[in-house]
Structures are given as C-alpha cells and as structure tokens.
Amino acid sequence: FAQGTAASLVTALIIYLTKLQDHLYSSLISNNFIIFIIVNLFIFGTIASSMYAKKLKKTDPGEIVIDEVLGQTLTISFSIAFA
C-alpha cells in the first residue's frame, strides 16, 4: 500500500477544501495560522519521525508520511495564497 500517496491525496483534499471554504465564507483561517501549522508540523514531525525511525532502525520507513503532508500543505497553501 502506498502510504505516502494516500497521505498526499488526503492532505491535498483537506487543504484545498479548507482554503476553498475560507475563500467562500469570509476568511476564517488566516495565512498566518496555516504558516503556524506548517512550522509546528515540521518541528514536531521531524522529531517524532526521527525517534520512530531510530526505534525501527530504518532510514526511511514507509509509514512515516509527514514529508508528504508538509509538501502538499506548503504547495497548495502557497499556490492558493498567491493565486
């Protein structure tokens, strides 16, 4: 099963629908909040995934998908913000 692909798809849908709702219903979620979420996901995701990978003694376990989540979040958020 392609966990990274599934995580990318789900993240893309969540961010897109959240920003679409935000656009349609008067800016409930600010870009600053999205940046705050991205920074925290990066910090805590890096720490947690490093600890998990060390525990498993693997360099890149397939079940760690935080990189896909952050990649999709950054790409879609900034493309919508600057469109």
Q: Show Cβ contacts of residue 60 under 8 Å, excluding neighbours closer than 6 positions.
A: 53
Residue 45 pLDDT = 92
More confident residue, 10 or 81: 10
pLDDT digits (tens, 9 = 90+) for 60-80: 888 889 988 888 888 887 776
Burial annotation 58-71 (CB, 10 A radius, 16+ → b, else e): eeeeeebbbbbbbb
User: 24 pLDDT exceeds 70?
Assistant: no
Model confidence, pTM: 0.72
